[in-house]
Amino acid sequence: MRVIIVGGGIAGLSVAYFLERAMAEGRWRGEILLIERGQRLGGKIVTVREDGFLVEGGPDSFLAARTEGRALIRELGLEMEIIAPQARTVYVLSRGRLMPIPEALLMLRPDPGAVLRARNLSWGGRLRALLEPWIPPRRSDGDEPLATFLRRRFGRAFAEGIAEPLMAGVHAGDPERLSIQALYPHLLAMERKFGSIARGLWNARSARPSGPLFVSLRSGMGALVDRLAASLHRTHIALGRTVLGIAPAPGEGRLSYRVTLDSGEIVEGEGVALAVPAFEAARWVRDLAPSAAARLAEIPFASTAVVTLAFRRDQVRHPLNGSGFLVPRREPFPLTGCTWSSSKWPGRAPEGFVLLRAFLGWAGDPEAIAGEDAILIQRSVEALRPLLGLRGDPVRAWVHRWPAGMPQYTVGHLERLAAIERALSPFPGLRLVGASYGGIGIPDLIRQAREAAERMASFLDSYCSYGG
């Protein structure tokens, strides 16, 4: 038996990890081959360490409350590496000025004191947000755009000035198109059960974790990739190989798959886990399951870039007393946000320097990341200059681009996933896993990978017992 995993991002690596574990527990036996196009593992997780700076080109943290992420980190012996943000104030850009968002509002909790302190909202906007507990719930159960949901519950000012930048910003998405059902199902559930988000959060207060929302790793998120890769003893990893296609392999009784590589090699396996973006998977399953391919191709992607800038501390007038700022869509500003990495996390810049992480690009603006690195750097510096009181040029800059890198869970995403699953059901050895499907966050990907590996292991085991 052989399982072929395509893609060496966190999803693909985690599938290998959980398949190895199932093998160690005697739940199946066979080989694992992981094929990665790049010359390195980790996909969007990229940590660069240079001249005392620690730069994250992709994710810089993960949701603390999710057990899947914490469990894997513990198993890999990385628990002592977990760090909490040292600065938690988040600012929002409002008419060209940075305003702090009261902490309760970061959790979407419209506590009266916090709402009244939201200086970026008009008084009318604040009062409307306070009325949330009295807004009747929607009758129908169907999906809805995130923006519509937020406006309906909290009013336009709160939705556009605070909630959307927080909730659509992490997806670089258009809140008018993103699906509340796929991205924030717990809020829909609260509305349904308690009639209001404020009441739902109040009822859930005892279950609320007291620590920070997001945590990171002291030596960067790349440590997770390094440790995960080092833990794989039974997986053969092939770097620098691009998968071109997958076809069913003729055989007697059992279905296996032929995976064609750009080198001309063909590898065959009874199980295939596609841990690549949906648009790649769509091309490969076109002949096997055309309707799955069509639905996969419907999942849109946004292109983003992370521009990390290092300055001497004396070049920056702003105290950088927070973790960074978010940008509502209505602000005429070229960045979607900026993390003050050296304030947020310990050990990101040497003494006397600061590190800023600027985000460009979102679903509505594919051109935002076009142009050479120097252009993106200049655009970021000039946008930040008046806000943060920057003097001169950065002493170092790094650009990480993610063309078609952010899957967009638009309205109907869950229904789309169910249709894909149905169309692929005749191929139980073929599994889709990754950020295009059931969550883009690192813990979500670890959970998806565990589920895919479990199902794959029991399927292969049944194959073995059946086929002998």
Ligand X SMILES: Cc1cc2nc3c(=O)[nH]c(=O)nc-3n(C[C@H](O)[C@H](O)[C@H](O)COP(=O)(O)OP(=O)(O)OC[C@H]3O[C@@H](n4cnc5c(N)ncnc54)[C@H](O)[C@@H]3O)c2cc1C
The contact set with ligand X (CB under 6 A) reads 6-12, 35-38, 43-45, 58-62, 242-243, 275-276, 280, 304, 306, 402, 405-406, 434-435, 440-442, 445
Q: Are strands 396-407 and 301-312 parallel, antiparallel or unpaired?
A: antiparallel
Residues with Cβ within 8 Å of residue 244, at least 6 apart in sequence: 260, 261, 262
Please state the closest distance from residue 182 (CB atom) to ligand X, in A.
14
Residue 94 · residue 325 · CB < 8 Å = no
Helix and strand totals (H; E) in the chain: 18, 20
| Distance, CA of 41 to CA of 9 (rounded, Å) | 6
Comparison of 302 and 320: residue with beta carbon closer to ligand X:
302
Listed in sequence order, the residues at least 6 apart from 270 whose beta carbon sits closer than 8 Å to its beta carbon are: 1, 2, 3, 30, 254, 255, 256, 257, 429, 460, 463
CA gap 278, 300 in Å, rounded: 9
> Minimum Å distance from CB 263 to ligand X?
11
Residue closer to ligand X (CB basis): 48 or 464: 48
For ligand X, the closer of residues 114 and 221 by Cβ is 221
Q: How far is the CB of 36 from ligand X (least distance, A)?
A: 5
Structure tokens at 242: 């691009």
To the nearest whole angstrom, how small is the minimum distance from the Cβ of residue 9 to ligand X? 2
Residue 405 CB, shortest distance to ligand X, in Å, is: 5
Q: Which two tokens stand for residue 179?
A: 């699906």
Distance CA 416, CA 413 (A): 5
CA distances from 28 to 318, 320, 462 (A): 58, 53, 9
Rounded least distance, CB 16 to ligand X, Å: 11
Q: Which of 271, 405 has the CB closer to ligand X? A: 405
Structure tokens at 434: 């990754």
**Measured from the CB atom, is 180 or 432 closer to ligand X?**
432
Nearer to ligand X (CB atom), residue 16 or residue 114: 16
- Give strand pairing partners of 62: 215
C-beta of 117: minimal distance to ligand X in Å?
27
Nearer to ligand X, 9 or 322 (CB): 9
Q: φ and ψ at 306, to 5 degrees?
A: -115, 120
Tell me whether residue 10 or residue 157 sits nearer to ligand X (CB atom).
10
Please give the backbone phi and psi of residue 398, each rounded to the nearest 5 degrees, phi first: -130, 140
Closest CB 12 distance from ligand X, rounded Å: 6
* Beta-bridge partner residues of 217: 82
